[in-house]
Chain A
Amino acid sequence: MDTSGSRQASRTYYLRKNIIMGLLHTWLPYILAGIAVGGQYALIAIGYTMVYGILRLINFAHGDVFMWSGLIMVYLVTVLPLWLSVILVIAFAIVLGTTIERVAYRPLRTAPRMSIMISAIGVSYLLQNFALYITGGLTKTYPSISWLQKTVKIGSATTKMVTLITPVLTIVLVFILVMLIKHTKIGMAMRAVSRDFETSSLMGIDINRVITVTFIIGCALASIGSILYFSNYTGINPMSGAMPGLKAFVAAVFGGIGSVPGAVVGAFVIGICENLIKGAGWTTFSDAFTFVLLIIILMVKPTGLFGEKNLDKV
């Protein structure tokens, strides 16, 4: 009796293990792809969530900064060595992001919220159209960074090296960022500003510096994200930034806007779900799903997973 029972148990164990292995075997490619793209969304989403946290602004142009850093890479690599191009791309993204803030957002800081959001949309429109002009609407092929694009085999799945690098790099960068926010003076200033903009400016915090630093961090991460993203999906056209940008924003909302870890968790959830949905054959709705998720989270928990509730002052 006893032995048969244990045999039974071990059989169900193996059966179960087989099913799990089988499932993993089928789904591994999707999960891997999801994790990779999730990490890349995360790097973009941080820029959204930090800017929103401080300025209460959906920086619609962020996705286009991401696209532009990819585009600049294409042009730089033709004349410069790779390592230098990478550095310059990050520098470019930072300059572009802070310039946008300076020119298009700072003058409107006291204007109604809608004006600054419209300005953001206008900048996005301009960046896209300018890219359209420069590229002539043609898709540019991203330069191959050979070790990132090397094919590797994990279990049943074959994928690019970048798929494995992305989550690791993302988590390391996020860890550094969280430490920065928690343990440095500028990080403290950021937290203070995001909690109460006016009071912190009265307390002598240099708001402009905080905002500039926020944009620097956001854009630098977005440009790193662009290197990873475009190494994986090697075509860039003027609209390449729009969809990742929107999804990253949804990720930021999902995780609770203003929260960096939240944005990262949200991005991974969206990346993985999106690929699983494609794998399940619902390819038509893989993009729409992101927005369904957004609407569900806004209905159920408007503050997102890790967001804090804000009360209006009356």
Chain B
Amino acid sequence: MKKLIALTLTLVLALTFCAGCGGGGGSASGDTIKIGVFEPASGDNGAGGKQETLGIQYANKVQPTVTIGDKEYNVELVVVDNESDNSKAVTAAQNLVSQNVSIVLGSYGSSVSIAAADVFADAGMPAIGVTCTNPQVTADCEQYFRICFLDPFQGTVLANYAYENGMRKAYCLSKLGDDYSVGLVNYFVEAFKGLGGEVVEEQFPDKNSDFTSYVANAKKAGCDVFFSPVSTEAAALIIDQAEAQSLGMPILAGDTWDSNVITGAAKGKNVEIVVTTFYQEGGNPEFDEGIKAWFEEDKDAMTNNGGNTDLAAVTAMGYDAYFVALEAFKAAGSTDPADVLAALPSLEVKGLVCGDVSFNETGDANKTEAFVKKCNTETGEWEFLKKQSAQ
């Protein structure tokens, strides 16, 4: 028995070896162009990563081909899971590179993008960040571009919003070891203090699910606003505790909170939630309806979206990223990563659902405004408040 199992195991491993060698090499046929999707499907950012991937997949469904020069290519998506983990991100990125993709999209969550940047740089592989907002993603990597705004911008926008609405003391909660929330809090604090506000900063450890004491701390400190731009996992728990302890102050957050997880958690609860984001549902009715119809049709897509058809901003961003990639191919007139890379800096794409995209010299999108939305806790939907700029 033992021998048999040993034998089977060896056989399986040996076969997989062949599969591993064979799978990547041969399949790049002439009429296909590959786009790598570098997103987390598991780990802390799994939920957001999946929603972002959905946008890309939907776009691929809407527009499965691209004409480069005179030739029509089928676009194939190569999706890898970077597991929201820096140590896995490098091999995941390497995996994409080794599969001959022409461009990479992603990731949700900046630290994996930063970790993978060197792999893309070594391979000369252009990459377009979809919603990674940390300045470091593009700062030292010529290959990395992005279509979203940055944390310093978003932090300032949020601080402006808070101060303009009469909030003077902010409780800022970030997650230990999570560079996104820590970074955003940092920029918020900087801007908010600059405006004359006062802050209390705290961090919670990984895997924490007990937010009772943090909510209590905010109340104890007598703050006017609870700023916690953390992952949606933690967000749901914070909202729950805010309700349980009657927090009594608005909760403010960044783009990650623009998700149906939040509206779902907040529905029917006595909480006030305000977020800044990339996209407002209704901004492009055609896209909204199309993608919702797809969710209804494809159960897997629906599951990945969290079980309902509510639209997340990251999905819209993913959709846009795909079209930016197609435009880049067209501009490059080639499927070669090097040509695509050369075409990106001067690229200008109009008519996207989240607004036009052009890149500045570091490779970041030129964005001047963010959408501010508020959660309607009765209907469980987002309500558009205003466009807020950094000034």
Q: Contact at B42–A287, with CB atoms within 8 Å? A: no
Query: What is the chain A residue whose CB lies nearest that of B220?
Result: A26
Query: How far does the alpha carbon of A283 sit from the alpha carbon of B214 in the complex, in Å?
Result: 8
B50 within 8 A of A: yes
A130 within 8 A of B: no
Which one of B138-146, B152-160, B235-243 contacts A?
B235-243
Q: Which residues of B contact A (CB under 8 A)?
A: 40-43, 46-47, 50, 176, 202-214, 216-217, 219-220, 232-234, 236-237, 240, 243-246, 261, 264-265, 303-304, 306
Q: Contact at B236–A139, with CB atoms within 8 Å? A: yes
A215 within 8 A of B: no
Which one of A102-110, A157-165, A186-194 contacts B?
A157-165
Instruction: Tell me which residues across on chain B come within 8 A of A158, comparing CB atoms.
Output: 244-246
Query: What is the chain B residue whose CB lies nearest that of A287?
Result: B205
* Binary flags per residue of A130-173, CB closer than 8 Å to B gives 1, else 0: 00100011110100000001010000011110000000000000
Query: How far does the alpha carbon of A110 sit from the alpha carbon of B176 in the complex, in Å?
Result: 43
Instruction: Tell me which residues across on chain A come within 8 A of B47, comparing CB atoms.
Output: 137-139
Which one of A3-11, A85-93, A236-244, A252-260 contacts B?
A236-244
Shortest CB-to-CB span from A284 to chain B, Å, is 5
Query: How far does the alpha carbon of A233 sit from the alpha carbon of B204 in the complex, in Å?
Result: 15
Query: How far does the alpha carbon of A147 sit from the alpha carbon of B210 in the complex, in Å?
Result: 20
Q: Which residues of A contact B (CB under 8 A)?
A: 26, 29-30, 33, 37, 132, 136-139, 141, 149, 151, 157-160, 232-235, 237, 239-240, 242-243, 274-275, 278-279, 281, 283-288
If A37-B210, A281-B217, A284-B176 touch, whether A136 touches B303 (CB-CB below 8 Å) is yes
Q: A139-B261, A286-B213 are in contact. List 11 more A-B contacts (CB 8 A).
A: A132-B42, A137-B42, A137-B50, A138-B46, A149-B244, A151-B243, A233-B210, A235-B237, A275-B210, A279-B216, A281-B202
Partner of A243, one of B208, B214, B234: B208
Partner of A33, one of B203, B212, B219, B220: B212
Shortest CB-to-CB span from B80 to chain A, Å, is 14
Partner of A160, one of B236, B244, B304: B244
Query: How far does the alpha carbon of A242 sit from the alpha carbon of B208 in the complex, in Å?
Result: 10
Partner of A139, one of B40, B213, B233: B233
Partner of A141, one of B207, B217, B236, B303: B236
Sorted from nearest, which 4 A-B pairs have the closest CB atoms? A137-B46, A278-B213, A137-B42, A33-B212
Instruction: Tell me which residues across on chain B come within 8 A of A141, comparing CB atoms.
Output: 236, 264-265
Query: How far does the alpha carbon of A279 sit from the alpha carbon of B211 in the complex, in Å?
Result: 11
Instruction: Tell me which residues across on chain B come within 8 A of A30, comparing CB atoms.
Output: 212-213, 216
Q: Could you jot down 12 A-B contacts, CB within 8 Å?
A: A33-B213, A136-B42, A138-B46, A138-B50, A149-B244, A157-B245, A234-B265, A235-B209, A274-B210, A286-B213, A287-B207, A287-B208
Query: How far does the alpha carbon of A286 sit from the alpha carbon of B176 in the complex, in Å?
Result: 11
If A136-B50, A286-B208 touch, whether A237 touches B265 (CB-CB below 8 Å) is no
Query: What is the chain B residue whose CB lies nearest that of A26?
Result: B220
Instruction: Tell me which residues across on chain B come within 8 A of A132, comparing CB atoms.
Output: 42
Partner of A151, one of B232, B244, B265, B306: B244
Partner of A137, one of B41, B206, B208, B245: B41
Shortest CB-to-CB span from A111 to chain B, Å, is 14
Query: What is the chain B residue whose CB lies nearest that of A160?
Result: B244
Q: Contact at A235–B233, with CB atoms within 8 Å? A: yes
Instruction: Tell me which residues across on chain B come within 8 A of A151, comparing CB atoms.
Output: 243-244, 246
Instruction: Tell me which residues across on chain A come within 8 A of B212, comparing CB atoms.
Output: 29-30, 33, 37, 159, 275
Instruction: Tell me which residues across on chain A come within 8 A of B203, comparing CB atoms.
Output: 283-284
Q: Contact at B245–A136, with CB atoms within 8 Å? A: no
Partner of A233, one of B42, B209, B232, B306: B209
Shortest CB-to-CB span from B187 to chain A, Å, is 20
Instruction: Tell me which residues across on chain A come within 8 A of B205, comparing CB atoms.
Output: 283-288
Instruction: Tell me which residues across on chain A come within 8 A of B213, comparing CB atoms.
Output: 29-30, 33, 275, 278-279, 283, 286
Instruction: Tell me which residues across on chain B come within 8 A of A232, comparing CB atoms.
Output: 210
Most buried by A among B42, B204, B214, B246: B42
Most buried by B among A26, A235, A287: A235
Partner of B202, one of A138, A240, A283: A283
Query: How far does the alpha carbon of A37 sit from the alpha carbon of B264 in the complex, in Å?
Result: 25
Query: How far does the alpha carbon of A234 sit from the alpha carbon of B288 in the complex, in Å?
Result: 30
Query: What is the chain A residue whose CB lies nearest that of B215?
Result: A29
Q: Contact at B237–A234, with CB atoms within 8 Å? A: yes
Query: How far does the alpha carbon of A26 sit from the alpha carbon of B214 in the complex, in Å?
Result: 13
Q: Contact at B214–A278, with CB atoms within 8 Å? A: yes
If A136-B303, A158-B246 touch, whether A278 touches B217 (CB-CB below 8 Å) is yes
Instruction: Tell me which residues across on chain B come within 8 A of A243, comparing CB atoms.
Output: 207-209
Q: Contact at A136–B41, with CB atoms within 8 Å? A: yes
Instruction: Tell me which residues across on chain A come within 8 A of B243, comparing CB atoms.
Output: 151
Query: How far does the alpha carbon of A159 sit from the alpha carbon of B242 in the complex, in Å?
Result: 10
Query: How far does the alpha carbon of A216 sit from the alpha carbon of B221 in the complex, in Å?
Result: 45
Query: How far does the alpha carbon of A243 sit from the alpha carbon of B234 in the complex, in Å?
Result: 15
Query: What is the chain B residue whose CB lies nearest that of A33?
Result: B212
Instruction: Tell me which residues across on chain A come within 8 A of B233, comparing CB atoms.
Output: 139, 235, 237
Instruction: Tell me which residues across on chain A come within 8 A of B207, comparing CB atoms.
Output: 239-240, 242-243, 287
Instruction: Tell me which residues across on chain A come within 8 A of B216, comparing CB atoms.
Output: 29-30, 33, 157, 279
Q: Contact at A234–B236, with CB atoms within 8 Å? A: yes
